Structure 1
């Protein structure tokens, strides 16, 4: 019975919906709702890398670049085009997808370390442009982001953004799960195992890899736009190298190919630094040590390891 529940397609989505419903009931203040909203935002970006890395087996070390594009779209659109922030977000998602399609065609011909370095270069270019074009982007100081309105309701406050980001996160999770259980997801997993074997079965390897790359860029752009709208300010750090590494770490720590794992990994890297602030100068060292410990003892990731142990115990 437990095994059947664990293997249900709806199980991950039900778990996430349960968490979304329970957290406001136990959160002692709005500060915790804001932290939870940040977890949902970075989970959305991590879902994209779950598709790209977990399903398709393609590494990206520059995906924060797309997050930065989505984030700056909600600032640049209203400032220079007079667009509504939410319309600007949609435009930013479209631009990110178009750039991913153009950039992905040549760099996805690379493999392994070469692909990782190429994507790293893309992320660095975006970060340098956002920093250098100070007349347009505000440079290192960033830009103010106007408040968005939805059906006449101004989106402000931790509680409001908690439910907005949670709703988008659940939709993103449902889409990622649907892709994973579809013929497209099975084709992507075939690429992950062996591109040569996948090509031998008639799968268009180049097209599938490009599709995964574009989807991951869309997820990152949505997350970036929500982050900027929630904070009311955006800086080039959003597209920085460390942000890209953290996104990859979220997916690996939680469990490659696991949608719930992406949320767990995001929670690990968003919540834990908040809990370690009392350690002051040793905060980053302790965080790094904990990541090493998790990778040594849970190499498959937190969620897949726990799921396997629960299944073995049930059997």
Structure 2
């Protein structure tokens, strides 16, 4: 039974659920729960990139643009349309998916560096629109987000948002794991290895790539919306270029194509800067050095490297 669980695709989900249950027991204050909630939200965004980059093999350097769409949806919806913040979150995810479908059709015909630059351009456009339309979005200063309520209860406080973000993250992880084990996931991995070979076996390469891009956009928009609701404020930084780079780094450091790796990578890049604040001026330098060390000695990512070590020891 235990051996079958170890080989099951449900193992990462079980491990994540256990971690989610343990963290509040060992967290000394609400600050740590808030940091953990940020880990869960960025993990969700990274899972979307895992589907796009890890499964389908398509590079995106503008993924933070979808976070910006989701974040500003929960701010603009209640402000200008009188919508409930959670309804705005759902509509923002749908809008991000629609935009990804429209934008993805032409740019996913590109490959390699050209695709990376095209997605980078998309992210820059979203960031510039958010910053430039100051009469609507508040410009560089951002805008406040209305507090959300659920069944009459106000969603506020580190503990509440910890459980909300953890629950959404677990749902997102379950969906990503099921996609990976489904015929769609196998088709995505096939075109990751060779689009020509995948096409020869009857896989609609263009449609599968577009599906992955839309799914990644929805994951990102939901994560952005949760960040906006949790912080009570959104700024254009959430759609910035550096956020896109950090999301890509999370996926690569944790392990490309690994859902659990997306969580590990997000934890690495969210928690470590908090731990390095004592270094002040050297914080970014040390963080960059650690990322370089991981890429040199664990090029496949943390989770695949640990899995390989476990398999070798078991053998």
Smaller-chain TM-score bracket:
over 0.9
CA displacement at 1:8 relative to structure 2: 1.1
Look up the match of 2:300. 300
Contact 1:44/1:220 (CA < 8 Å) preserved in 2?
Answer: yes
Look up the match of 2:310. 310
Look up the match of 2:28. 28
TM-score of the pair, normalised by structure 2: 0.99
Look up the match of 1:230. 230
Q: RMSD of the alignment, in Å? A: 0.8
Contact 1:2/1:314 (CA < 8 Å) preserved in 2?
Answer: no
Look up the match of 2:166. 166
CA–CA distance in structure 2, aligned partners of residues 80 and 217 of structure 1: 24
The size of the alignment, in residue pairs, is 315
- 1:109-128 to 2 correspondences below 5 Å: 109-128=109-128
CA displacement at 1:5 relative to structure 2: 3.8
Superposed structure 1 runs of 4+ greater than 6 Å apart: none
- 1:38-57 to 2 correspondences below 5 Å: 38-57=38-57
What do the CA deviations read for 1:29-65 (whole angstroms, capped 9, x no partner)? Answer: 1100000000000000000000000000000000100
Look up the match of 2:213. 213
CA displacement at 1:2 relative to structure 2: 7.1
Look up the match of 2:140. 140
What do the CA deviations read for 1:131-184 (whole angstroms, capped 9, x no partner)? Answer: 000000000000000100011110000000000000000000000000000000
Look up the match of 2:185. 185
Q: Secondary structure at the match of 1:103?
A: helix
Contact 1:3/1:311 (CA < 8 Å) preserved in 2?
Answer: no
Look up the match of 1:108. 108
TM-score of the pair, normalised by structure 1: 0.99
Look up the match of 1:264. 264
Look up the match of 1:248. 248
Look up the match of 1:17. 17
CA displacement at 1:7 relative to structure 2: 2.0
- Structure 2 unaligned spans of 5+: none
CA–CA distance in structure 2, aligned partners of residues 202 and 220 of structure 1: 30
CA–CA distance in structure 2, aligned partners of residues 29 and 140 of structure 1: 32
Q: Secondary structure at the match of 2:105?
A: helix
- Structure 1 unaligned spans of 5+: none
CA–CA distance in structure 2, aligned partners of residues 256 and 308 of structure 1: 14
Q: Secondary structure at the match of 1:116?
A: helix
